[in-house]
Amino acid sequence: MSVNTEDYDLASPGAAELFESLRAFGYDLPTALADIIDNSISASARNIWIEMIWDGPESRITTRDDGTGMTEDTLCQAMRPGSLSPLEVRGANDLGRFGLGMKTASISQCRCLTVMSKTRGGEISIRRWDLDYIASTGTGEWRLLKGKELLSDEDRALLDGQEQGSILFWDRLDQLVGDATIDDETAQKHFRERADSLKAHLAMVFHRFLRGRNAVRLHLNGRQIEPWDPFLEDTDKVDPLPAETLVADGEAVEVKAFILPHHSRISPEQHAWAAGPRGWNAHQGFYIYRNKRLLVAGDWLGLGMQKEEHFKLARIRIDLANSADLLWQIDVKKSRARPPAALRRDLQRIARTARGQAASIYRHRGKVVQRKLGSNDVFLWNQVVKRGKTYYKINRDHPLARKVLDTADDKAPVRALLALIEQTIPAPLIVINNAETPDGFGQPFEDSATDLKTAMAETFQALLEDGRGRPDAARALLTMEPFNQYPEMVAAFLDEVATGQ
């Protein structure tokens, strides 16, 4: 079809103006560098090195890999905004989609992006987007700088020890450093803190690439990043639900729920590690992966469910292929996804099941619920509901409570004290503190082993005085709150009691 040039105008965007707009995609440092690492992994890199170098206004971030590298033509194409249509069919293991990631992620953090690359047996290729230079020309032209003189001899030598690979240089870090001077301690501290948050984010997003037989090795400032697995699959304390395959518009996804263990079943170090970068409450919910790369880390996906303390042990994995990007509304930053309407009901069902099991473990502290087995002396506190309101009462059948009441010469003050304790529980304060710092509550006796042993001895003696034989009393102590959280200390105490017979 012939078109008369009088029927249209050329409306090419100004380079300087569009680049400034592209900077506002909403990247932060961790999501921006994760996008860069996607390209390295797609290029079959086995090693990736990130260096964050503090030097005041000359601070720099570099990302180097040993992937397949790019020729002059390939690099020039890769540097074009929109280098590949999102409608193009991607390779099965490709982590890209929009052809924007490397550029938009980089310029969101810096005003000067330089890429140097070489293929096996090829020559070094260098290209640069310099936003200040483009603005200074006043032409609106998309001037992609090239030439070896763009980098120093020292910079060019960074690929000398590799047969192939690429390296990105981020200079003029206006978002992270701004106008800070080299001796600005506050700015330098912030720079270091961002490195720490970056490490945690990358350990989470790429954890499935950082483990296994063909693991990618990811280094930050000379130290290898260890993976953070939100599902604790290396332990035998997790209760996974059976995996399900769901299909929408011909796209199959695998969904598998994991119910994490109560803290009493794992070590304090494991519990702290499993909390993740944002804490236990924030990391409950669905985890959406695209080609093993984490997109969403803990979200109930708008399914009408809120993040609450008693659901924090529920984490659900969803695995997508990259052909499902449009169906799941994957965004440019690869940090958001929304399930298709056809799967919402099934996802709600799976979520409710996982949340129910997590709540059961949370409420009963990961132990067999002895109340259902007819035992009334395991828990010190009972929950009572009257006229639609909830109260908490001290269990008068607890052996230690019963002993105190039975041996008191004047029972009235003891009963009054128990009632006063029950009626003055600071429930509103507990709720507020739990909402603000859900992982900030101390565990029973964690700061006083002596008090724990004293309480253990008094309770054991009360069981004996209640007519229980020593074996029965020992079994009761092992299942009783809070002693069942310290099985090794209980075992040591019982050994001492047996030795002292």
- At residue 377 the predicted structure's pLDDT band, cuts being 50, 70 and 90, is low
- At residue 99 the predicted structure's pLDDT band, cuts being 50, 70 and 90, is very low
8 A C-beta contact, residue 101 and residue 332: yes
Percentage of the chain beyond pLDDT 70 is: 88
Which two three-digit tokens encode residue 157? 């030598």
pLDDT attached to residue 332: 60
Count of C-beta atoms within a 10 Å radius of residue 397: 13
Residue 11 CB partners (closer than 8 Å, separation 6+): none
* Residue indicated by tokens 């008068």: 396
8 A C-beta contact, residue 116 and residue 149: no
Mean pLDDT of all residues in the chain? 85
Domain range annotation of the chain: 15-224, 239-363, 372-439+451-499
Which two three-digit tokens encode residue 363? 């409420």
The better pLDDT of the pair 320, 324 is held by: 320
Distance of CA 43 to the CA centre of its chain: 25
Mean pLDDT of 479-500: 80
Distance of CA 137 to the CA centre of its chain: 43
pLDDT in tens, 400-455: 888 888 888 888 888 999 989 988 988 888 777 766 665 666 778 877 888 888 98
As a whole number of angstroms, the distance between CA 452 and CA 456 comes to 6
- At residue 388 the predicted structure's pLDDT band, cuts being 50, 70 and 90, is confident
- At residue 365 the predicted structure's pLDDT band, cuts being 50, 70 and 90, is low
pLDDT in tens, 469-488: 888 888 888 888 888 778 88
pLDDT in tens, 404-413: 888 888 888 8
pLDDT attached to residue 434: 67
What residues does 252 pair with on adjacent strands? 247
At 165 the three-state DSSP class reads strand
What residues does 219 pair with on adjacent strands? 49, 224
8 A C-beta contact, residue 480 and residue 381: no
The better pLDDT of the pair 17, 87 is held by: 17
pLDDT attached to residue 4: 66
Q: Which DSSP string do the residues of 104-126 spell out, in sequence order?
A: HHHHTT-SEEEEEEE-TT---EE
pLDDT > 50? residue 96: no
What secondary structure letter does DSSP report for 227? Answer: P
Mean pLDDT of 192-210: 95
- 239-363 has which CATH code? 3.30.230
pLDDT attached to residue 89: 47
Which two three-digit tokens encode residue 488? 């090794």
What residues does 49 pair with on adjacent strands? 64, 219
What secondary structure letter does DSSP report for 131? Answer: H
pTM over 0.85: no
Mean pLDDT of 157-165: 94
pLDDT > 70? residue 100: no
pLDDT > 90? residue 153: yes
The better pLDDT of the pair 266, 216 is held by: 216
As a whole number of angstroms, the distance between CA 28 and CA 194 comes to 10
pLDDT attached to residue 367: 44
pLDDT in tens, 306-315: 998 889 999 9
To which H or E segment does residue 405 belong?
helix 399-407
As a whole number of angstroms, the distance between CA 233 and CA 184 comes to 43
pLDDT attached to residue 260: 94
CA quadruple 448, 451, 452, 453: dihedral sign? positive
The better pLDDT of the pair 323, 33 is held by: 33
Mean pLDDT of 68-95: 70
What secondary structure letter does DSSP report for 235? Answer: S
What residues does 248 pair with on adjacent strands? 251
Total residues found in the chain within this entry: 501
Q: Where are the alpha helices (DSSP H) in 129-229?
A: 131-137, 153-156, 185-205
8 A C-beta contact, residue 231 and residue 326: no
At 499 the three-state DSSP class reads helix
At 319 the three-state DSSP class reads strand
Count of C-beta atoms within a 10 Å radius of residue 173: 24
Q: Domain 15-224 class?
A: alpha beta
The better pLDDT of the pair 112, 460 is held by: 112
- Angle between helices 470-479 and 449-465 in degrees, nearest 10: 140
